[in-house]
Structure formats: structure tokens, C-alpha cells
Amino acid sequence: MELITRNRCFGGDQDVYTHKSDVCGVDMTFAVYLPPQSRMHPVPLLWYLSGLTCTHDNAMTKGGFQKYAADHGLALVFPDTSPRGDGVADDEAYDLGVGAGFYVNATQDPWLPHFQMYDYVVKELRNLVMDQLPVTDRQGITGHSMGGHGALIMALRNPSLFVSLSAFAPIVNPSRSDWGRKQFSAYLGEDEAAWSDYDATTLMSEVGWHGDILIDQGANDQFVDLLRPQAFAEAVNHRRQPCVMRTHAGHDHSYFFVSSFAGDHVAWHAERLLTD
């Protein structure tokens, strides 16, 4: 890990690091917020996965999470959304390729060599952060839009790794959405059976979650038809899964929406991460 920048923030440090990723085959950049409590002892960790077109920087600078993380004593990690750099496959569309990794392990060319974002977050970056930073193994995960999709599938598939789970306007049923079918076809191939491990609605129906879940959605979200929250709600109800799904009048899909409820989500995770 090479430290790129460090800024004092609410008594803690907002850092940006780069490192050589064996999983993605390129250098990857990520951001970490360490609250003041981390100078005295390791602290629990909240992962935030960003949405389409974002880098590590978007939520770090526009999400407003750091103050709440400092108040509760949580660290934050903001990974990138895809590999980047020379030799990394890309597409002219904003929703495929660089900035649009969809948190899957690609099995199809030209994406296969670098687009391994599921293993990157769940295995490589997690191990790196735990090895080199003052954090504990009590971890939660959240995310926005494509990142909400990533948070849900990673938690549902890895219940032993995550204590708490939430999402902001997540893509919850990508197998039945244009934000999903296009990308899964490219990254995973045309066999839709291979898509089920990356569909939160399918995973909820099949395996559920060991705790409760918080999901916030804007009532004026211009992309709500692509997100398909009703599909996840039906799976939650069918499974009788504890889940708080809130719809907020007047809110859209932007970071104005995310920052409006950032404090609620940090508090949600803190309550679960700081209690044995």
C-alpha cells in the first residue's frame, strides 16, 4: 500500500492509497477514513461500494459519511468501481467497462483478465486492509445503486464476513433489468444460470440474510424502473426477512439523496457492529 494523500477530517484521517492488485492485474486505488478512536485501538469497519461511473473519490468527497463515522468510531473504506489503466478493456457506453465493474468476476473476454471486482473486494482488498490498518473483523457493508447491488450480493453470499447490511437505491434484480442483463451478458456470458449468484433478489429468495437490512429509496428516483425495488420487496416478504425499506418523498438518485441519509446508515451499522 502506498499512501497518496492524507487529510485530517473530524479528528481522524481521510487517506487515499494505491496498491498492486494481483486479482485485477493493475494498480488499484481506494480511500480509507480512520476515525480518531483508531489511534487508541482497532475499530469496526464499514464498506461503501459506489455506483456507475464513480471512483473511490465520489462518496469520499460527496457522501458526508466521515462525521458520523467519527462520532461512532467506525472506519470507512471506499473501493473503486472497476480496474483502470493501460490494457484494461472498455466500452463507449458509460454502463459497461471502466467505472462499471458491477462487482462480478468476469468469465468472458475481453473482460476476464481484469474485471474481477467481486474477488477484489471480498478477498484481496479485505485481507490487505485487515493486515495493514487498525480495523477489526466486525464489518458491515453498504453501497449506492450499482454499489448497493454489490453490497447486497457480497453480504448475502458471505454472511460470516459481514455483521450488518444496508443499501441506498440498490439495483436489486439485475437479471431482469437493463442495468444488469446487458452487463451480465458481457461479463458472464449468455447462460443466465450463471447470473444468479449476482442477483440480490434471487439470493434473498434462496438464502436470505442472518440479520436485518436497511434500504433507502428516493420516491423521485429517475432510475427506479431499472432498480426494481418491488422485486426485492416481494422476495423479502415471501421469506419473512427482517428488512426496513424506506421510500423518501422528493428524493432522486443523486448524492444529495445519499448524503441526506448517510447518518442513518452509519448509525444503523454502528449499533450492530459495536454490540457483540
- Spatial neighbors of 96 by CB under 8 A, at least 6 apart, are 182, 183, 186
**Which listed residue (145, 164, 177, 205) is catalytic?**
145
- Dist. CA 208–CA 206, nearest whole Å: 6
- Decide if 36 contacts 70 (C-beta within 8 A): yes
Q: Which three cell numbers stand for residue 4?
A: 497518496
145 is catalytic: yes
**Which listed residue (13, 15, 80, 221) is catalytic?**
221
Q: Which three cell numbers stand for residue 135?
A: 480495523
253 is catalytic: yes
Q: What is the DSSP letter of 56?
A: T
21 is catalytic: no
- Dist. CA 18–CA 106, nearest whole Å: 22
Place of cell 462499471: 100
- Dist. CA 169–CA 253, nearest whole Å: 7
CA atoms within 13 A on the CB side of 270: 17
Q: Which three cell numbers stand for residue 102?
A: 458491477
**Which listed residue (56, 253, 265, 269) is catalytic?**
253
Instruction: Point out the residues that are catalytic.
Output: 145, 221, 253
